């Protein structure tokens, strides 16, 4: 028989409570159901003869398909790089104290967000018809300093990435603006107190801190851009992945297997982009994770007294040094 435990005053100490985890059958049942549904889906994909997987594997690494992947990636990279640069400029213009810059930025965002990207691509495809010559001169006069045929500059490829980039810049600019506004205004005030210029504050203080908020939605926009390149047929630009697979499908009268080829490549490239996005998020979030840990430590370490004040290890060392100095001076 176990002896009762008593404290120093002879009072009985209650037995220790041994907490046991609650058995939850719901998550287990849900996991089994999801696993069964996934197995049924895989079985349907693999065993369905209408998917014709032998044709899928035959054309997965087809020369035209690989060329289409190259042009799709090239369009995605060029469009996103140009869009990111423009979006930062537009976001800074939107926050400018100059009303003209704010108005131009607002109009750009309003126009390109308010019209479908497919319509914009059709317009850029017809640009050389609407504007046969690009010239530089004095408006409303016949004086011309420079002139060139627009068709030599606005080719199908250039029209494709210009249309994609301008449309994407309008959306990204709002993402960048949200990131800039999320930075504590005290950062700007402190930088101004040190005599830093507005441009330097934006480049060295605001933008680096805003990247933590800007990166995740920008990664999503990049993945969206990869798939939006399938719309450049409106230009028409006919060398990207979607058109390449459609051309093969029309030639051999097998649309489903070639659609699966396109899906496999889009999924593979999207997975790679997601890994890159995750690495960038971790890189730009390092400093903020450290701050949150320090903040939690500070919250656990409180001084005794009528007013509780957080104290870090450095504060305690500094306080001890001050006490030693006071003792020496005395």
3-state DSSP of 231-283? HHHHCCCCCCHHHHHHHHHHHHCCHHHHHHHHHHHHHHHHHHHHHHHHHHHHH
8 A C-beta contact, residue 148 and residue 137:
no
Q: Which of 176-185, 241-250, 279-288 has the lowest mean pLDDT?
A: 279-288
Q: Is the pLDDT confidence value at 324 over 50?
A: no
What percentage of residues in the chain have a pLDDT greater than 90?
A: 44
pLDDT at residue 141, rounded to an integer: 80
Please write the tens of the pLDDT for every residue from 40-60: 998 888 888 888 899 999 999
* Eight-state DSSP code of residue 11: P
Please write the tens of the pLDDT for every residue from 59-84: 999 999 999 999 999 999 999 999 99
Q: Which of 17-26, 37-46, 90-99, 214-223 has the lowest mean pLDDT?
A: 17-26
Q: Is the pLDDT confidence value at 317 over 50?
A: no
What class does CATH assign to 62-287?
A: mainly alpha
Q: Is the pLDDT confidence value at 301 over 80?
A: no
Please write the tens of the pLDDT for every residue from 226-281: 999 999 999 988 889 999 999 999 999 989 999 999 999 999 999 999 999 888 88
pLDDT at residue 291, rounded to an integer: 55
Length of the chain: 330
SS3 label, residue 147 = strand
pLDDT at residue 326, rounded to an integer: 40
Q: Is the pLDDT confidence value at 327 over 70?
A: no
Q: How far apart are CA 253 and CA 223, in angstroms?
A: 30
pTM for this predicted structure: 0.74
């Amino acid at each position: 028989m176990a002896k009762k435990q008593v404290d120093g005053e002879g009072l009985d100490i209650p037995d220790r409570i041994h907490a046991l985890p609650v058995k939850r059958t719901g998550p287990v049942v849900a996991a089994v159901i999801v696993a069964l549904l996934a197995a049924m889906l895989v079985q349907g994909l693999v065993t369905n003869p209408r998917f014709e997987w032998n044709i899928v594997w035959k054309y997965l690494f087809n020369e035209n398909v690989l060329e289409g992947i190259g042009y799709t990636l090239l369009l995605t990279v060029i469009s996103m790089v140009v869009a990111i640069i423009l979006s930062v400029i537009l976001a800074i213009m939107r926050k400018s104290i100059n009303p003209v810059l704010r108005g131009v930025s607002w109009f750009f965002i309003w126009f390109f967000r308010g019209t479908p990207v497919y319509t914009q691509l059709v317009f850029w495809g017809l640009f050389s018809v609407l504007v046969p010559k690009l010239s530089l001169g004095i408006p409303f006069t016949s004086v011309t300093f420079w002139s060139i045929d627009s068709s030599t500059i606005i080719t199908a490829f250039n029209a494709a990435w210009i249309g994609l980039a301008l449309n994407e810049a309008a959306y990204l600019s709002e993402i960048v603006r949200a990131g800039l506004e999320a930075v504590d205004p005290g950062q700007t005030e402190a930088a101004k107190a040190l005599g830093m210029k507005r441009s330097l504050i934006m480049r060295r203080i605001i933008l680096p801190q805003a990247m933590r908020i800007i990166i995740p939605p920008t990664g999503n926009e990049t993945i969206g851009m990869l798939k939006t390149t399938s719309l450049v047929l409106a230009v028409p630009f006919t060398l990207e992945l979607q058109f390449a697979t459609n051309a093969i499908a029309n030639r051999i009268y097998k649309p489903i297997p070639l659609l699966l080829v396109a899906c496999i490549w889009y999924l593979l490239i999207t997975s790679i982009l997601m890994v890159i996005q995750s690495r960038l998020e971790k890189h730009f979030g390092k400093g903020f994770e450290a701050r949150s840990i320090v903040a939690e430590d500070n919250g656990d370490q409180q001084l005794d007294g009528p007013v509780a004040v957080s104290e870090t290890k450095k504060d305690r060392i500094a306080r001890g040094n001050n006490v030693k100095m006071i003792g020496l001076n005395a």
